[in-house]
């Protein structure tokens, strides 16, 4: 992404470029990319979430014309984005020249995105999903996962979704590093044994995309620092599996301002850069069954 040689708020273009990178640079990029076109902005930090309900069908009558009545209800809800984050830096022109352009604004913001912003966005996503899901249905701890039970426990998560008519296509399974190893090992054991009963769970796990995530990014809660990034919350739990259908997730992010300032008297001859974003994650309450967490009981 090249910077123009003038002061320009290019927030929209910057946001579009980042959105294209999300599936490749965030562990939960598929969820951040699951933008819902029916979510409308009132302003930069407030959105309208749609909520439409309809009544069921009734018996027909070939001999008379029935009465018409309103059979739907539209209850839109406004939400204020809770997360308001900024980042800024300055760069002396000599630093750019003397580092063979390594310390250019473009390179600095690229590293900031990949090493600070994107990991923080991963933390925001799983924190929001755990909190919102737990509010709709208490997330309770289950047995410690082993090669003997991991496929069965996964199968139970799939059954919950099946029973609530969550679409089968498109489900994503996020697992921490060690759970992914358990799954891969269990699949090999089952296939070598020829056990037809357990073979069903192997075929089921082949129905979803399994995404390995470092354990540091699979916690139930993170705290955003007011001055420097984020950290794991003190009461955070280890998330072993997150089975989710993107249709249940509503990610919202808007860049209100992103601008490169050229050297001037006010900046004492330095380049300046500032960006500001408003973001949050919501869920469709009626679709919360499309989000299933697995955490282990404490020893």
Write down the CATH number for the domain with range 8-53+77-295: 3.90.1690
List Cβ neighbours of 262 (8 Å cut-off, separation of 6 or more).
5, 6, 7, 271
Mean pLDDT across the chain: 89
**Range 112-119 average pLDDT:** 93
pLDDT 10s digits, 256-280: 888 888 889 999 999 899 999 999 9
Q: Model-level pTM?
A: 0.87
Q: Is the pLDDT of residue 198 over 70?
A: no
- Which sequence spans correspond to the domains of the chain? 8-53+77-295
For residues 275 and 257, is the Cβ–Cβ distance under 8 A? yes
pLDDT 10s digits, 139-186: 999 999 999 999 999 999 999 999 999 999 999 999 999 999 999 998
pLDDT at res. 225: 94
Instruction: Check residues 53 and 221 and name the one with the higher pLDDT.
Output: 221
Q: How many CB atoms lie within 10 A of CB 178?
A: 14
For residues 157 and 145, is the Cβ–Cβ distance under 8 A? no
Q: Is the pLDDT of residue 21 over 90?
A: no
How far is 241 from 253, CA to CA, in rounded Å? 25
How far is 201 from 182, CA to CA, in rounded Å? 14
pLDDT 10s digits, 80-106: 899 999 999 998 988 888 787 777 888
> Tokens 């699979």 map to which residue?
218
pLDDT at res. 2: 46
Q: Which neighbouring-strand residues pair with 237?
A: none
């Amino acid at each position: 992404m090249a910077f123009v040689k003038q002061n320009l708020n290019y927030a929209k273009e910057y946001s579009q470029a980042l959105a294209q990178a999300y599936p490749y640079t965030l562990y939960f990029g598929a969820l951040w990319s699951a933008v819902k076109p029916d979510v409308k902005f009132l302003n930069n930090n407030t959105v309208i979430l749609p909520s439409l309900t309809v009544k069921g069908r009734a018996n027909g009558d070939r001999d008379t014309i029935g009465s018409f009545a309103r059979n739907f209800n539209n209850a839109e809800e406004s939400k204020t984005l809770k997360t308001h984050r900024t980042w800024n830096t300055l760069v002396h022109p000599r630093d750019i020249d003397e580092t063979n352009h390594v310390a250019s604004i473009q390179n600095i913001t690229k590293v900031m995105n990949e090493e600070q912003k994107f990991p923080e966005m991963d933390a925001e996503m799983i924190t929001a999903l755990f909190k919102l899901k737990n509010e709709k249905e208490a997330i309770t701890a289950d047995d410690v996962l082993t090669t003997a039970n991991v496929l069965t426990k996964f199968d139970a998560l799939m059954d919950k979704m099946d029973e609530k008519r969550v679409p089968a296509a498109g489900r994503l399974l996020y697992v921490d590093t060690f759970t992914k190893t358990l799954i891969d090992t269990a699949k090999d054991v089952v296939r070598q044994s020829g056990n037809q009963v357990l073979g069903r769970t192997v075929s089921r796990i082949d129905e979803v995309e399994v995404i390995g995530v470092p354990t540091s990014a699979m916690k139930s809660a993170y705290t955003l620092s007011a001055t420097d990034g984020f950290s794991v919350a003190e009461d955070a739990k280890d998330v072993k599996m997150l089975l989710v259908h993107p249709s249940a997730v509503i990610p919202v992010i808007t860049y209100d301002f992103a601008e490169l300032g050229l050297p001037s008297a006010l900046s004492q001859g330095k380049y300046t850069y500032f960006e500001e974003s408003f973001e949050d994650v919501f869920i469709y309450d009626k679709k919360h069954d499309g989000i299933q967490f697995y955490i282990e009981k404490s020893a």
